[in-house]
Amino acid sequence: MKRQECVHCGETVVVADDGETVTGGETPVAHLQRTGHAHIREPRPTGCPHCGYLWMYSGEADMATCPNCRGKAVPGEIPDTE
């Protein structure tokens, strides 16, 4: 079980592994139902500056790894292809 801070409101959400019971906090589903927003960022269109591959990145890292060539890309940015 791990605690994560909501990227929208800063409240703590408890994420349990399979088979674990959440105690002492609010689950992501309960948080979504109560606040109307998910605790993680929405997927962002991201483009690889190395191979040009486009995908929807939903992670939290500062740099995304391209699923096509394994190169690094800035989440939410699509490089100019000219």
Q: What is the pLDDT of residues 33-56, one digit of tens each?
A: 778 766 666 788 999 999 999 999
What is the b/e burial string over 26-61, where b = at least 16 CB atoms within 10 angstroms of the residue's CB? bebeebeeeeeebbbeeebebbbeeeeeebebeeee
Q: How far apart are CA 31 and CA 13, in angstroms?
A: 7
Tell if the pTM clears 0.75, that is, is over it. Answer: no
pLDDT of residue 82: 59
Task: Kindly tell me the number of DSSP H helices and DSSP E strands found in the chain.
Answer: 1, 6
Calculate the CA dihedral of residues 45, 13, 6, 29 and round it to 10 degrees. 50
How much is the average pLDDT of 26-30? 79
